[in-house]
Amino acid sequence: MVVESLTPTVNADDLCCKERIIILRLLLHYTSFINCLFEDAPRYLQITPRQSSYQPGDTIRCSAEGNPKPSYQWTDLISGTVIQGALLNVTETMLNNSYSFQCNAGNQYSSIVNIMNFTVRGINVLSRLGV
């Protein structure tokens, strides 16, 4: 008795719309399943834009990769104030002072930190007016 190995082939042109949708759903489900297998601690923490001085109205962003996605918090290392979220908003109340902030990105596996020092300066009105 001879047994032949059959390899199914699918030509996308032969599939109807419903069949294509089913295949796409299966691929998306499979990709989602694979992503769940690769859970990891936060890594590649970045602070942007990273500058030595900022002005009121500027926003500083903390970001990192990880699965599940990390949560973020900023800590003022001088006052101990904690701000939840990835964004640190530079405000008028911070004018003419120096700061040391730590960004923490964490998930259930671990956390990473990055520290930055900066000053907050006022807006030079004369330079904005071209004087």
- Considering the domain boundaries, does residue 61 fall inside one? yes
- Model confidence, pTM: 0.66
- Considering the domain boundaries, does residue 15 fall inside one? no
pLDDT for 36: 52
Where residue 74 sits, what CATH number does that domain have? Answer: 2.60.40.10
pLDDT digits (tens, 9 = 90+) for 49-104: 999 999 999 999 999 999 999 999 999 999 999 999 999 999 999 999 999 999 99
- Considering the domain boundaries, does residue 50 fall inside one? yes
- Considering the domain boundaries, does residue 5 fall inside one? no
Q: Is the pLDDT of residue 14 over 80?
A: no
Q: What is the domain range of residue 88?
A: 40-125
pLDDT digits (tens, 9 = 90+) for 24-46: 676 665 555 555 567 899 999 99
Distances (CA, A) of 53 to 2, 34, 50, 126, 128: 79, 43, 9, 19, 17
Q: Is the pLDDT of residue 125 over 80?
A: no
Number of domains in the chain: 1
Closest CA to 42 of 107, 87, 116, 100: 107
- Considering the domain boundaries, does residue 31 fall inside one? no
